[in-house]
Homo-oligomer: A and B are copies of this chain.
Amino acid sequence: MELVYILDILGTLAFAISGALVASDQKLDLFGVIIIAFVTAVGGGMLRDVLINAHPINWIGDLNYLYVIFIAVLLTFLFKSKILPLSKTLFLFDTVGISVFTLLGLQKGLNFDLHPLIALIMGMISAVFGGVLRDVLTNKIPLIFEKEIYASACLAGGITYLLLKKTPITDNLNFIVSASVIITIRLIAVKFNLELPKVKDDIFGK
């Protein structure tokens, strides 16, 4: 699917820019910014491919990922003050990227004959682990562990995809519907500032 590849690349661009912005706020040097942009953008898919033994792994098998990351760092380096006001556009790219990463990761898992549950996890790793690595390398508790609901959005979208796969609808339509589920949940969650429950208290209220 050509369109999916373009969305994958746009998502990679958004992830890389978000990584570069975080890194530059931390006063890392140019090399540090490139590494953080890199792990943010391709870290999730890289971990997935290492875990399922899919060689060559994502960015080794397709150089376009690297080129997009270099472009992202260059844009951030040159136009940081122009990019920041675009945060809504970036957020949209990022949300589309997450949905595409989740579903492509899930599909790759299924293509490797993994159990649907494992494939679902691979989809989620693809979508969220780049951000986790970014936060570990910049020495913060991963954001996603604290208040981001977007892992749940990926989960819901992935489950939708697996369920619809058992129906007669085409794979392309399934992809679009499931991606819409992820995008919709994330947009609603951010708009209404939703959070997942914490394990502070148990059902006995203690």
Interface residue stretch chosen among A48-56, A89-97, A165-173: A48-56
Contacts A50-B51, A145-B35; A198 near B79 (Cβ below 8 A): no
Contacts A78-B203, A79-B202, A81-B202; A197 near B145 (Cβ below 8 A): no
Q: How many residues of A contact B (CB 8 A)?
A: 62
Residue of B nearest to A75 (CB): B202
Contacts A114-B60, A136-B136, A137-B145; A29 near B198 (Cβ below 8 A): yes
Per the bound structure, the CA–CA distance linking A195 and B204 in Å amounts to 38
Which of chain B's residues have a CB closer than 8 A to the CB of A201?
A: 80
Q: Which chain A residues numbered 80 to 128 have a C-beta less than 8 Å away from chain B?
A: 80-82, 114-115, 117-118, 121
Measured CB to CB, the residues of A under 8 A from B are 20, 23-24, 26-33, 35-36, 46, 50-53, 55-57, 60, 63, 66, 76-82, 114-115, 117-118, 121, 132, 136-142, 144-147, 149, 151-152, 195-204, 206
6 closest A-B pairs by CB:
A32-B145, A24-B199, A81-B206, A29-B196, A80-B202, A28-B145
